[in-house]
Amino acid sequence: MEHYDQAAYEQADGDQYEPLLSEKDETTTEVESSLPDELTRDKLELPSLAEPELARHYVRLSQQNYGVDSGPYPLGSCTMKYNPRFTEDIAALDAASVHPDRSAESVQGTLKLQYDLQDYLGRIGGMDAVTLQPPAGAAGEFAGILLADAYHEANGEGHRDEVVIPDAAHGTNFASAALGGYDVVEIPSGDDGRVDIDALDAALGENTAALMLTNPNTLGLFERDIERIADMVHDAGGLLYYDGANLNALLGRARPGDMGFDVMHFNVHKTFATPHGGGGPGAGPVGVTDDLAAFLPEPHIRQTDGGSYERYTPEHSVGKVHGFSGNWLVLIKAFAYIDRLGDDGLGDASAKAVLNANYLAEQVDYDVPLGPFHHEFVASAGDQDAADVAKRMLDYGVHPPTTKWPDLVDEALMTEPTEVETKSNLDDLADAFNAVAGEDDETLESAPNRTTARRIDQTAAARNPRLSWHDLD
């Protein structure tokens, strides 16, 4: 694996390089102001570096960090694929960066782009209307819960206070439902790793507000009974919510709207490859069927008869889920990405993502209990500790998969290579998996050895929290 960029793994001498820390004490500034003393603070103590030293500090930090551009990043359910860089230039334009309180007349370009992205996402998801406001996938889930809540309330069904969620679902589903004030009814997965129809039947009832479903699910399996599931939920008077985290597996093959979903969110930073450096920003647009369109957050965007674009408040709008209009720069990149790929590219992205997942699953010696897979699969590390396996994989120059989740699989290694890896990269990944599979616990527990930092003591960090410079010695 010599061809991978090893920068994140190599530290020349192991020294700490912390100029911001070491010099902070020398940069105390006495605060003087034309404001009365009682309205101001006395002093401020922040590091202060000359520009060249600052540049080196952050370049050095970047070299101690692994990104998709460093090598494969097969974190299951995170869809970490290559981010084409032309979108960065567009998002950096002055024209892209306007104040959110500008008049509609003066930002027709922004509104048109919003409108066109709403339209693209609607077509891709099979949804009638889309809001771009939620700033992340989990925020999209919460917006979906709000919409469901408002919908039931408007229909005189305000007593519905339960959201049904399979045990394989992302943790955000549970937290978003709870944030909306709903009781979570968790249902176990069946032996085949899919929704257990009997368990679902038992969970549904007159209090069901919605079922939140990821399809393909977090085991990488398509819920083949989706039409029956949709009928059951709808017959019970509930709504079917689609968690878009795994949409990358379905582009051009199936659409949530066609499957019977009433509400969905898109993780545009995953499916449409916008960089989400270090954990965000993302964006979580929400699509709905006509029945729910009147409840969408405001402002929503529509085209006037005259062809211009305007903001408006849908008739029964739930209000707002973000202070302004969400993560606009991310949305611009998503639009440009979709526009670049088009039907051919989007369909091919899913084809190659699914092919890569199945190919890699085939090459891995670890037990891969179920299949066939869509864009991710879950292997079991068996007698080995999955977290140790991950640390050891770092020594082989690859980023490990998501570990110990979903917990339906013992010592889970949840792997999503995405469409951007070559066969050769996948072979190298498989070699890393398989090399580790043959190693003893002692070797695993002592890993990693070739990284910037050696194994980090997570327990000590939690037991004795030190969360700022002020807590350091």
Q: Taking CB under 8 A as the criterion, which residues in 206-245 touch other proteins?
A: 221-222, 224, 226-227
Of the candidate spans 65-73, 195-203, 236-244, 285-293, the one that interacts with other proteins by CB under 8 A turns out to be 65-73
The residues in 116-145 that bind other proteins, with binding defined as CB under 8 A, are 116, 120, 123-124, 126, 135-139, 141-142
Phi/psi at 305 (nearest 5 deg)? -60, -30
Q: Is 153 in the site for other proteins (CB under 8 A)?
A: no
Cα–Cα distance measured from residue 301 to residue 284, given in angstroms and rounded to the nearest whole number: 16
Query: Measured between alpha carbons, how far is 176 from 467 in angstroms, rounded to an integer?
Result: 27
Shortest gap between Cβ of 386 and other proteins (angstroms)? 12
Nearer to other proteins, 196 or 421 (CB): 421
* Sequence-separated (6 or more) residues with CB below 8 Å from residue 401: 74, 75, 76, 379, 390, 413, 414, 415, 416
Position among 175, 197, 294, 437 found at the interface with other proteins (CB under 8 A): 175
Query: Among 3, 22, 25, 58, which residue sits at the site for other proteins (rule: CB under 8 A)?
Result: 58
176 near other proteins, judged by CB under 8 A: yes
Which of 113, 148, 293, 379: binder of other proteins (CB under 8 A)? 113
Q: Hunting for tokens 């700033």 — which residue is that?
A: 135
**Minimum CB distance to other proteins smaller for 273 or for 436:** 273
The answer to whether 421 contacts other proteins (rule: CB under 8 A) is yes
Which listed residue (152, 160, 170, 265) binds other proteins by CB under 8 A?
A: 170
Per CB under 8 A, the segment of 197-205, 206-214, 288-296, 319-327 that binds other proteins is 319-327
Return the DSSP state at 99. -
Range 289-292 contact pairs with CB under 8 angstroms and sequence separation of 24 or more: 289/127, 289/128, 289/257, 289/262, 289/263, 290/128, 290/129, 291/151, 291/262, 292/129, 292/147, 292/148, 292/151, 292/239, 292/262, 292/263
Residue 184 CA to residue 428 CA, distance in Å, equals 41
Query: Judged by CB under 8 A, which of 203, 212, 239, 318 binds other proteins?
Result: 318
Q: How far is the CB of 373 from other proteins (least distance, A)?
A: 8
Q: Of these, 72, 144, 238, 282, which contacts other proteins (CB under 8 A)?
A: 282
Q: Which of 92, 231, 291, 382 binds other proteins (CB under 8 A)?
A: 92
Interior/surface letters 451-467, b for 16+ CB within 10 angstroms, e for the rest: bbeeeeeeeeeeeeeee
- Give me 138's structure tokens: 């989990």
Backbone angles phi, psi at 266, to 5 degrees: -105, 135
Q: How far is the CB of 160 from other proteins (least distance, A)?
A: 14
Q: Are residues 269 and 330 in contact, defined by beta-carbon separation less than 8 angstroms?
A: yes
Nearest-angstrom CA–CA distance, 236 and 459: 45
Candidate residues 72, 80, 219, 436; the one interacting with other proteins per rule CB under 8 A = 80
Site string for other proteins, 285-314 (x = CB under 8 A): ------------------------------
Smallest CA-to-CA distance from 123 within 313, 317, 338 is with: 338
> Could you say whether residue 184 binds other proteins (CB under 8 A)?
yes
Which residues, 30 to 49, sit near other proteins by CB under 8 A? 31-36, 38-41, 44-49
Site for other proteins in 348-387 (CB under 8 A): 348-349, 351-352, 354-356, 358-359, 362-363, 372-374
Residues that contact other proteins, how many (by CB under 8 A): 208
Provide the strand spans (E) within 270-394. Answer: 286-288, 300-303, 309-312, 377-380
Q: Which residues contact 329 (CB under 8 A, 6 or more apart)?
A: 91, 96, 97, 281
One residue of 243, 262, 416, 419 binding other proteins per CB under 8 A: 419
Residue identified by tokens 């500090």 is: 57
Q: Nearer to other proteins by C-beta: 314 or 400?
A: 400
Are 77 and 403 in contact by the 8 Å Cβ rule? The answer is: no
Tell me if 334 contacts other proteins by CB under 8 A: no
Contacts to other proteins from residues 424-453, by CB under 8 A: 426, 442, 446, 448-453
Comparing CB distances to other proteins, the nearer of 47 and 237 is 47
Among 158, 159, 171, 382, binds other proteins (CB under 8 A): 171
